[in-house]
């Protein structure tokens, strides 16, 4: 990968990582506190949902870390080394954990009797959002696993080629 592409991509990954950190520290807790202040019956649901949201963002950050390291290897031309699989595994694992978290929140929202200040559309939106996140997450995990499988094949072919040459 050309360095003129890798540099901006790595900068974007670093910015996204820092944005996730800001969301974990400021945005998620503040938004949850504001919602509980506006509608006090949300109070019992605040801690589990905030914890899940912060963990979900942490999974995204772990995936960004793995992606950043893969970009670094690509810019150096060392993608087809066996140690690259470690970072591919980090991306797969982070995506799988994020998908499991989304599915768990979907189950929690489905089984909980969450009150609503109006017509219940906010709870339905949360329910549909977590269902969509679990579905999309499953697709992402499968795609990343397919990419990892192709990387394993390419590393094997590169190893054979190096032995021949």
Helix (H/G/I), strand (E/B), else coil: 119: coil
Domain limits at 124? 3-164
Cα 47 to Cα 21: distance, rounded to the nearest angstrom: 18
- Amino acid 153: pLDDT: 94
Indicate the pTM of the whole model: 0.89
Domain count for the chain = 1
| Intra-chain end-to-end CA distance of the chain, in Å | 23
- Amino acid 162: pLDDT: 82
- Amino acid 69: pLDDT: 93
Contact 71, 1 (CB under 8 A): yes
The DSSP secondary-structure symbol of 26 reads I
Look at the block and give the residue holding tokens 């397919």.
Answer: 146
pLDDT (tens, 9 = 90+) of the chain, 165 residues, equals: 777 888 899 999 999 999 999 999 999 999 999 999 999 999 999 999 999 999 999 999 999 999 999 999 988 888 888 889 999 999 999 999 999 999 999 999 999 888 888 777 888 999 999 999 999 999 999 999 999 999 999 999 988 888 887
């Amino acid at each position: 990968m050309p360095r003129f592409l890798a540099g901006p991509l790595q900068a974007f990954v670093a910015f996204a990582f820092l944005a996730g950190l800001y969301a974990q520290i400021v945005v998620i807790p503040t938004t949850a506190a504001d919602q509980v202040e506006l509608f006090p019956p949300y109070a019992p649901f605040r801690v589990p949902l905030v914890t899940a949201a912060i963990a979900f963002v942490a999974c995204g950050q772990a995936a960004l870390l793995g992606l950043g390291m893969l970009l670094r290897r690509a810019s150096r031309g060392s993608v087809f080394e066996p140690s690259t699989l470690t970072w591919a595994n980090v991306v797969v694992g982070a995506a799988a954990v994020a998908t499991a978290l989304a599915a768990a929140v979907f189950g929690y929202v489905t089984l909980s009797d969450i009150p609503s200040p109006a017509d219940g559309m906010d709870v339905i939106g949360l329910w549909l959002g977590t269902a969509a996140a679990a579905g999309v997450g499953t697709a992402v995990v499968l795609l990343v696993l397919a990419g990892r499988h192709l990387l394993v094949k390419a590393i094997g072919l590169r190893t054979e080629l190096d032995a021949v040459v």
